[in-house]
Structure 1
Amino acid sequence: MVVAPIIAFTQGYISQTVSQLLIAGFGVLGTVLLASLTVLTILNNRVLVEERLKDREKPIQTVVLKDVVKSSLDSVNSNRSKMLNGEVRWADATFDGMELELVKVNLDTCLDDPDLVAVERFSQSYPETAQLIRRYDDRIHGLNNTARELVNELQEPVTEFRRNTEGITEDDHDELMSLLLGVYDGTHDEDFPDWWVESRADAVIAVTEVVPELEQWYDEQEQFLDFSGEVQESLLTAKQEIQAEYGIDLESELE
């Protein structure tokens, strides 16, 4: 481009001044083009580096998805289903002398035996969701401990009600305890014992008069289910973002 003004000047087509201006202009344009090419090269190299980093990170994020996100989602979903369907055996929350085995009511914690590296990596990327998971597990342990205390407090009033109610035998005691402790019953009346269908309202009233904490216990279960919905939503968001960023097809990875 710089040669053209020189040739035009020597042939007399343009003046020296115009030739100098054109040469200077082409020089500036060349500098701009060179700078643009440099920037594009840098950006392209940055994209390549990011892609390589993602390729290296993908196996780690796959483990995070499996052992932290999906595992936690499975626990939350399973627990919600069990609670709503009246399948939680709160009366089984008895102390067995094992400090590490607190949850005895067939509920699952999210981080029962986690991959600590995966948990740490997830906590770095999603600190708020990781904190929700920890709070969720703590609340399960808390519910279990509260249920254990209520089991002890309810023994006497439940025994008294059972003895004074026709159709309920001593063999029905444990089931009566579980039914009283569960606020949800997703099954139909035909799935319950006849004595419970007939005596449910009276049993709740009679026992709550002696142990008023039972009403608060029902509220705690409802609050926990609301909280589990928050945890579920946060985990789903994290799952979708990780899969999209690293191109992970979790279903095929699990095959």
Structure 2
Amino acid sequence: SPKLRPVFSIINPELFFTLPRRQMANGVSDMMSHIFERYFTRTLHTDLSDSLCEATLRTIMKNARILNGDLNDYNAWAEIAFSGNIAHNNLLGVGREQDWGCHAMEHELSALYHVDHGAGLAVVTPAWMKYVSPKHQEIFVQFAVNVMGVEGSFREPEAIIREGISRLERFYRELGLPTTMEELDILPGDFPLMAEQAVSVRGPVGSLEKLDVRDVEAIYRLGCSNIQHA
């Protein structure tokens, strides 16, 4: 709620020193997801906010790697803290149709299995990318190149996109985050229920691609290791 937002706040990076590595990783995953929900859009002519999204994502990833080795690095926490503010104060969403499909799908994982929100997003997000990217290749190629540093022929967009998603998964694993449903002990038998719940309040979720119950269940299944690595 907007009523929970502070009118003024002081962000002291030293306060983050007490966070365990697991919660650092969860926070990083959620910050990145806040940006993804704005970045992957149908809205065109968003050059400035595209670049701001990409720079913030790169900053988060660079400094998360530093913190993964030293949780008391003041400068890295300062960068993460500032990035977290930028990630969700909606500066990056100005003038853009926003998605929020991954958040809607992840909430059902946390509701039924009580998994950490950031950990659930690390599983759902790559699965969502694999499912929707074939219809939206341009923005996913842009992400793979500008954020994940993928090189290759633009005549082979599928290969560039696939490598970009793979690098994101490797980054999550580097931080100790799960990337499969099995790692969260989530049973495939619960996918239909979770999919139904995800769309029960507002109908189809997401805006880059409207996802109905069948779509959401398919994305959950893409989060399974036997499908993911097929």
Could you say which TM-score interval applies, normalised by the shorter chain? under 0.3
TM-score (norm. length: structure 1): 0.24
* Structure (1 or 2) with the larger CA radius of gyration: 1
Q: Which has the higher helix share?
A: 1
TM-score (norm. length: structure 2): 0.26
